């Protein structure tokens, strides 16, 4: 093969693996129960990341607040715009997390309902599910010694699905958007089929078709099978060796719209999280500078600009000069110029008349 062609194929193949592949649809009931739980767990993991980032921002914001009270005037001037921007970031995230938590609660309820239905379907479909009659004579009485019977129709399976995510046969990462996004949960069972076999005597291949009377040792078997579509029915019973004939097929959709609703709530939660600003780190200059209130407070804390209103914000070289003076060139020195001063600001512990103090950075949490 041409070297160039080989190289192109390798690049294309690498691109496919870099993008990842769509996870295959679940094909077992327990696998589908695990899959819907995996989907929600993956999105919940992102939500938990937002919560952790939010808690860190709240803690850092309170450090800014302490420094705004106890630090020297120069540090207070640096703190004010950042504190205002941090407050906006934290307040916005509070609202976003409240909405996301409500969506998560809905998604969790629907996810567990759907997983429970899959689990029930598994128990039903894995049972023995049959009636097996063996006739004693050619003219049996259905009493006493006229027949032998096995009656397990409706008997549930003995092993249920695990109440976790381990039974998903697909290990690939799951995603809720893009070309590899998860589809709606499948309905693996929508119909129950009544199936039967009949042999007229003790020879399995001798069917109970027209013109053949049942004799001693004749057998009748009735069972239930489950499928994702209606079965093709017949009024002719299969013999004892053949696959059971489908004698009747009835709708049995236990899932209804729950799968669609669970799918929608997980998608909604994922979209909410992706639109969040909770991962913005208020210790990063670009994060606070992106809040509109920051530039206004930066202006109002500049000498001669104390009366500035919205629309009067610093701009151009004047803005760059003030930013560089307070936070380093383009804000790149905000750690050294602002946060080191904040962390080293005194924090009063309020222990009576001793007025014991420590440094802000030594507080493990702002409430301590």
Domain count, the chain: 2
Closest by CA to 85, choosing from 299, 274, 296, 275, is 296
343 and 291 co-located in one domain: yes
pLDDT (tens digit per residue) in 103-157: 999 999 999 999 999 999 999 999 988 999 999 888 777 887 888 999 999 899 9
- SS3 for 245? strand
For 163, the domain range is 128-171+183-254
226 and 297 co-located in one domain: no
250 and 276 co-located in one domain: no
Residue 360: what pLDDT?
58
- Domain-terminating residue out of 254, 282, 302: 254
Closest by CA to 39, choosing from 185, 234, 214, 225, is 185
35 and 137 co-located in one domain: no
% of the chain beyond a pLDDT of 70:
88
Report if residue 34 sits inside a domain.
yes
With cut-offs at 50, 70 and 90, classify the pLDDT of residue 26.
very high
- Domain-terminating residue out of 254, 283, 312: 254
Q: Which residue has the tokens 């989907």?
A: 39
- Domain-terminating residue out of 224, 254, 284: 254
Q: What's the mean per-residue pLDDT of the chain?
A: 88
pLDDT (tens digit per residue) in 74-97: 999 999 999 999 999 999 999 999
56 and 145 co-located in one domain: no
142 and 94 co-located in one domain: no
pLDDT (tens digit per residue) in 232-251: 999 999 999 999 999 999 99
Report if residue 19 sits inside a domain.
no
Q: Which residue has the tokens 């760059």?
A: 320
> At 267, phi and psi to the nearest 5?
-60, -45
Report if residue 312 sits inside a domain.
yes
Measure the CA–CA gap between 160 and 143, rounded to whole angstroms.
36
Whole-number Cα distances in Å, 219 to 131, 177, 245: 10, 55, 15
Residue 91: what pLDDT?
96
276 and 325 co-located in one domain: yes
């Amino acid at each position: 093969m041409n070297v160039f062609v080989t190289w192109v194929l390798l690049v294309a193949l690498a691109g496919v693996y870099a993008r990842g592949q769509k996870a295959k649809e679940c094909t077992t009931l327990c696998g589908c129960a695990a899959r819907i739980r995996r989907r929600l767990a993956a999105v919940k993991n992102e939500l938990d990341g937002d919560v952790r980032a939010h808690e860190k921002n709240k803690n850092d914001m309170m450090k800014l607040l302490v420094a705004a009270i106890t630090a020297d005037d120069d540090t207070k001037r640096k703190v004010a715009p950042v504190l205002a921007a941090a407050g906006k970031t934290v307040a916005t995230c509070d609202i976003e997390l409240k909405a996301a938590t409500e969506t998560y609660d809905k998604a969790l309820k629907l996810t567990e309902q759907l997983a429970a239905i899959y689990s029930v379907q598994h128990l039903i479909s894995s049972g023995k599910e049959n009636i097996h009659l063996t006739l004693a004579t050619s003219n049996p009485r259905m009493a006493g010694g006229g027949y032998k019977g096995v009656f397990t129709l409706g008997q549930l399976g003995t092993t249920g699905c695990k109440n976790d995510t381990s039974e998903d046969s697909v290990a690939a990462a799951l995603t809720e958007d893009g070309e590899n996004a998860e589809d709606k949960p499948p309905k693996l069972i929508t119909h129950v089929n009544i199936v039967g076999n009949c042999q007229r005597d003790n020879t399995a291949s001798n069917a109970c078709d027209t013109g053949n009377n049942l004799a001693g040792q004749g057998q009748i078997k009735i069972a239930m099978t489950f499928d994702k579509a209606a079965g093709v029915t017949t009024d002719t019973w299969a013999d004892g060796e053949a696959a059971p004939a489908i004698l009747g097929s009835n709708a049995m959709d236990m899932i209804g719209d729950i799968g669609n609703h669970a799918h929608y709530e997980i998608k909604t939660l994922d979209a909410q999280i992706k639109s969040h600003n909770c991962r913005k780190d208020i210790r990063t200059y670009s994060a606070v500078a992106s809040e509109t209130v920051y530039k206004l407070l930066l202006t109002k804390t500049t000498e001669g600009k104390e009366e500035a209103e919205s629309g009067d914000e610093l701009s151009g070289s004047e803005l760059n000069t003030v930013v560089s003076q307070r936070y380093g060139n383009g804000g790149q020195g905000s750690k050294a110029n602002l946060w080191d001063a904040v962390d080293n600001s005194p924090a009063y512990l309020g222990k009576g008349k001793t007025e014991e103090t420590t440094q802000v950075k030594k507080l493990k949490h702002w409430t301590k």
